[in-house]
Every structure is written in structure tokens, then in C-alpha cells.
Amino acid sequence: MVTAQNLIIAAIVLTSGTAHAEGSANVGWASEYYYRGVLQKSSSASAGLDYESNGFYAGTWAADVGDGLEIDGYFGYGGEIEDVSYSIGFTGYYYTGDFDDTYQEIYLNTGYGIATIDVAIGEYGNFDGPTQDYAYYSLTLAHEGFYGKVGGFSQDFEGNYVEAGYETSIEDFDVSVAAIFSDSDLVGNSDEALVITIGKSFDLQ
């Protein structure tokens, strides 16, 4: 079974042997941590590490979810063909407490102009119950910091959400504000939120 520790080791191995690897770290805070339209925790801090070399990338990211931490590990490859960008990879979502169980997925991202499409096919551990399969999809339109996104799930997960916001940089800090609207199929009762995030990235040389 793939674990968070194995993913971190894979990230180090993938990039440590390449002379032109670039590393970065990030820290952040969200007034409410939403992921794919679902509230994880109010007032959540996060931090991560990323490495990239010749299109290959790997990293790990952790966030406070109240009952322990969410720890993500990911790796993949990205590039461009003429004006079309793309990336394909793996992400695992793991938890140190009982907040949630493991998610593991293969994802594909492609972008052209102001539009980006994300698709992920995954499996949810579901504690002591049977594992569940899910497909996630989203379309994002972005221009000069403003963006709008429509996303949702199918298979064993269902529901949709809409997100609209603005992202900018202030004194080397990344700042964003977003309005999120989730339907009742996704979260049980329809939900809406206004989320503020602040983050900062650091080059590792």
C-alpha cells in the first residue's frame, strides 16, 4: 500500500539525483479550509515542500484539520505542447487522526488560454466500510487574477459546487478571496462561504 512516508521518499529520490532540480517551500493560512467544495476546518494553517526537474515534480503538503493533520503526497509530470499545458500524476491524501480516511487518485490537468480542465479518478478507503470509487472534474476560467470554477463528483460520490474569486500578491504574500457555493448532494445541506487565504513561498537553494 502507498503511504505518506513512501510518497515523501519518492519525492526526494525523484529529484535528488538531478543537477537542475528546483525546490520550494510554502506556508499558508485559510479562514476556512475548503477542498473541492467541502469544508474541512475553520481557520486552518498549512505548509508544504515541492521539487521540480525537467517537467517531473513531486511534493508533500500538510494542513490542520482539527483531529490531527491531513498529509498529502504527490508526483507527476507536466509540460506544454504549443499553447496547451498539461500534467498527469498521482495524489494521496492521508490523515494522522480520525478526521477522514485515505484517498488515492490519478489526475489529469490541461489548460489552454483562460481555461483549465481537471479530472481525477480515485478510491476512498472508507474506514471499515467497503472502498468507494469516485471521479472528480472541474472547469476553471481565469483572467488577470479573477477566476470562476465549476466542479463536481460522480460514481460513489455525488454533488457539485461553484467557486469564484480573486488572487493577487501583496508584499511577496499570495492573497486570495473566494466565494464558494456547494449543493446539498455534495455536503448534505447546501452551503456557502466567503474564504480568505494568505500564503508565502520560499525558494530552496
pLDDT in tens, 135-173: 999 999 999 999 999 999 999 999 999 999 999 999 999
Angstrom distance (rounded) from CA 205 to CA 196 = 30
C-alpha dihedral sign at 151, 36, 100, 42:
negative
Task: Write down the pLDDT at residue 35.
Answer: 98
Which domains, from first to last, does the chain contain?
Answer: 4-204 (2.40.160.160)
User: Which residues, including other chains, have CB under 8 Å from residue 82's CB and lie 6 or more apart?
Assistant: none
176: left (phi over 0), alpha (psi -120 to 50) or beta: beta
Q: Which pLDDT band, with edges at 50, 70 and 90, does 21 fall under?
A: confident
The pLDDT of residue 51 is above 50: yes
Angstrom distance (rounded) from CA 22 to CA 116 = 25
Q: Which pLDDT band, with edges at 50, 70 and 90, does 6 fall under?
A: low
Q: How far is CA 57 from CA 21, 88, 159, in A?
A: 9, 10, 31
| Cβ atoms of 8 and 44 closer than 8 Å | no
Q: Which pLDDT band, with edges at 50, 70 and 90, does 104 fall under?
A: very high
The pLDDT of residue 2 is above 80: no
Angstrom distance (rounded) from CA 103 to CA 65 = 15
What per-residue string of b and e applies to 98-120 under the rule 16 or more CB within 10 Å gives b? eebbbbbbebebbbeeeebebeb
User: Length of the chain in residues, anyone?
Assistant: 205
Q: Which pLDDT band, with edges at 50, 70 and 90, does 205 fall under?
A: confident
Angstrom distance (rounded) from CA 164 to CA 182 = 12
pTM above 0.85, yes or no: yes
Task: Write down the pLDDT at residue 203.
Answer: 94
The pLDDT of residue 99 is above 80: yes
